Amino acid sequence: MEIMIHPRVKKFISESGEKERIIKHLKKLSDDPYHSKSKVDIKKLKGRKHDMYRLKIGDCRFEYFIDDGKIWIDNAFKREQGYR
């Protein structure tokens, strides 16, 4: 699957101190974006209008959805900021 990243998420990644680690994990996401596996912590989020998922990488959280065979990474934040 192709991964599409929102510009604000790209900015978050470039400003984080873990750029290489985040990119490595995002590439693993394209193999199976629905299920957790070794080193990839994925959870389906509840209470959303459409199916949203959360990818956890250390203290960073990424929210994404899947549409037309593409993974759309829509939001990124640090753990302490919480979910909106």
Sign of the torsion formed by the C-alpha atoms of 38, 17, 81 and 65: negative
1 has a pLDDT exceeding 80: yes
Task: Give the structural domain span for 59.
Answer: 2-30+39-79
Looking up residue 20, the CATH number of its domain turns out to be 3.30.2310.20
Q: pLDDT above 90 covers what percent of the chain?
A: 54
Residue 57 belongs to some domain of the structure? yes
As for how many domains the chain has, the answer is: 1
The span from the CA of 42 to the CA of 26, in Å, is: 11
Measure the CA angle with vertex 3, ends 55 and 40; round to 5°.
30
More confident residue, 21 or 47: 21
pLDDT in tens, 34-48: 988 877 899 999 887
What is each CA distance from 3 to 37, 46, 51, 81, 84, in whole angstroms?
A: 18, 22, 16, 24, 22
The DSSP output letter for 31 is T
Average pLDDT over residues 15-36: 89
Residue 84 belongs to some domain of the structure? no
